[in-house]
Amino acid sequence: IEREIIEQQLFPLMENYTGSEPEKFVFWWLWRCLPVAVAKSVGENIALLPAETRIPDSSVWSHNSLVAAIASSLIGKQEEEKSIPYLAVFTLTPVQELIKASRKMRDFWSGSWLLHYLSAKISWRLAEIYGADSLIYPCLYAQPLIDHWLLQKHPELNQWIDQPTDRSLLTAGFPNVLVLLLPKDSVKAAMQTAKQIVKEEWRDLGKKH
């Protein structure tokens, strides 16, 4: 069923695609839109199909996403040497100091949303570089801000992805800890990129307010 859906929906889309980096566009479609297309064709319950019936602790989509992350980590960028998957953790701190500075409920919400936004922006930028599957925690699938930025970049995906509501975009939900599965030779660069994103976004936010 997946092959049929890809041939019927993705192939025609690619024939008219004029943007850059078509391979990344294909990845985003397979990661975000294929599960939606399959659910529309077969039924919404397909999202609950377990990867293993004997121990049904995760869906087949979650399983496939993790397998893809492991596969890319094993390949890495250095084809001459076998890559080793690494778990990388990036933490935004200090959270408690920001919360303690709140004097009103509005301040508390603003601080929480600011951390949420920064964490989401880091996740989005890293997903563009290493793939959304590399983010083990939090899962980026159907996250409002991620969907919002994805639709901004690829508006042609709107037949599979609904534009998030203002309420969902203003609801803080991203954690301050990000866990990624990356090839060994990409960990240092990814952490440096994450730090740079925080500095850039913080500077840009300061200019806006």
Domain ranges for the chain, please list them.
Answer: 2-208
Among 13, 6, 32, 5, residue whose Cα is nearest residue 148? 32
Among 200, 74, 72, 73, residue whose Cα is nearest residue 125? 200
Q: Which residues contact 205 (CB under 8 A, 6 or more apart)?
A: 114
Mind listing the pLDDT tens digit for each residue in 36-65? Answer: 999 999 888 887 888 777 888 888 888 889
For residue 189, give the amino acid letter. A
Count H helices, E strands: the chain?
10, 3
Indicate the SS3 state at residue 175. Answer: coil
Among 14, 61, 24, 11, residue whose Cα is nearest residue 39? 61
Regarding the domain delimited by 2-208, which CATH topology (the fold level of the hierarchy) does it fall under?
Answer: Alpha-Beta Plaits (3.30.70)
Please name every residue paired with 85 in a beta bridge, in sequence order, or none if there are none: 183
Residue 109: predicted pLDDT: 78
Low-confidence ranges of the chain (pLDDT < 70): 76-81, 102, 209
